[in-house]
Structure 1
Amino acid sequence: MLKVGVISDTHIRNLAQGARLAEKLCAGCFADVTTIIHAGDVGLPEFLDLFGDREMHAVRGNMDAPVAGVPIKKILTLGGFRIGLVHGWGSPFQLEERLRREFQGLSLDCLIYGHSHLPACHRVGELLLFNPGSATDRRDAPRHTVGLLEIGERIAGSIIPID
């Protein structure tokens, strides 16, 4: 079984803050993951380098400056499953519908997004819609959260509170 850590909306402002968060996650709920996905609004791009030798995938959020190799959206294939990755924009109202249209006509098993800071893990038909929430800025969410995907015969997600 492949375990994937999912994080979004970290808004890291200094590397000391980023190092503390990466260390906490790598020693805790991301200890067994081989891949980490960041769904945008990273803050400092150097934060992505703090997770050791784990494979890292990221997209640019609406608050991120352009960085080479970090697109607005992408499709990954992990464990035979197609995963769409995009941050999001605008109002949280109908956010999932707008993001699904971004990948219209493309066959996805999972769509990972961020932006709202509100965790979500549910299916629309066979498509898993997954937002890990925010590890650093919960806004209206009750807790700071990250996500885990478990990929085997099926792709499944869980939201993990970290405080």
Structure 2
Amino acid sequence: MITIVSDTHSTTGHELSGRTLDAVRNAELVVHAGDFTTAAALDAFEAESSRLVAVRGNNATEAVADRLPEVRTFEENGIRFALTHRKRGGSTALSLFGREREADVVVFGHTHRHLAERAGEVLLLNPGSHAQPRGNHPTHIELEPREKGFAGRIYRQDGKIMGEIPVGGLES
């Protein structure tokens, strides 16, 4: 399973709880779309994750910025992911970012609101924020591998499903 989170905004730790904490601990891969804020928060995520792929956000301290890139591209189960915290220009800019990196999926954060929508041929995923939802529910995304691609769900911390996401053309 892949667990996707973003926007921790912590000075001390990972701020994980409930289903989100369980999902991070049980994931084969944790993807973080930025804004750990401090090295302590990044270290706490690394301690809870078996494998962490992350980018820095716009609120990263110098210690975090020194350890994490602004963008990353990686592949899992035949799906190519492009990861960033934010791109000015909304879904058009995110779609272009994905196409430039030949990605099937763009994972991003910054808005603190979960989102799963197609922008042309690119799927845009924002897990929302598990720690500072800013008027929204605290959320994360879980992707379960299938024969090709993934079946995904957006979850609240309390375990309620907020949405289904087919990734790679498969129904969840």
TM score, norm. by length of structure 1: 0.81
Map 1:67-146; keep pairs closer than 5 Å: 67-89=65-87, 94-141=89-136, 143-146=137-140
Partner amino acid, structure 1, of 2:52: M
Deviation by residue 1:119-145 (Cα, 9 ceiling, x = unmatched): 00123344221000001111242x111
Q: For residues 77 and 115 of structure 2, what CA distance do their matches in structure 1 show?
A: 22
Partner amino acid, structure 2, of 1:8: S
Q: For residues 73 and 152 of structure 2, what CA distance do their matches in structure 1 show?
A: 17
In structure 2, the residue matched to 1:63 is: 59
Deviation by residue 1:12-58 (Cα, 9 ceiling, x = unmatched): 1223xx2x5268634x3334311101101112233233343510011
In structure 2, the residue matched to 1:4 is: 2
Paired-residue identity, %: 28
Q: 1:127 to 1:103 in 2, by over 3 A?
A: closer
Gaps of 5+ in 2: 159-172
Q: For residues 12 and 25 of structure 2, what CA distance do their matches in structure 1 show?
A: 23
**Match of residue 151, structure 1, among 138, 145, 154:** 145
Q: For residues 149 and 53 of structure 2, what CA distance do their matches in structure 1 show?
A: 21
Q: For residues 8 and 137 of structure 1, what CA distance do their matches in structure 2 show?
A: 10
On the 8 A contact 2:87/2:93 being kept in 1, the answer is: no
SS of aligned partner of 2:154: strand
On the 8 A contact 1:4/1:149 being kept in 2, the answer is: yes
How much does 1:108 deviate?
A: 1.0
On the 8 A contact 1:4/1:34 being kept in 2, the answer is: yes
Deviation by residue 1:80-101 (Cα, 9 ceiling, x = unmatched): 21100000055xxx52222222
SS of aligned partner of 1:117: coil
On the 8 A contact 1:5/1:30 being kept in 2, the answer is: yes
Map 1:24-63; keep pairs closer than 5 Å: 25-26=20-21, 28-50=22-44, 51-52=47-48, 54-63=50-59
Q: For residues 71 and 50 of structure 2, what CA distance do their matches in structure 1 show?
A: 20
- Aligned residues: CA RMSD: 2.3
Gaps of 5+ in 1: none
Q: For residues 87 and 76 of structure 2, what CA distance do their matches in structure 1 show?
A: 25
Q: For residues 122 and 155 of structure 1, what CA distance do their matches in structure 2 show?
A: 15
TM score, norm. by length of structure 2: 0.77
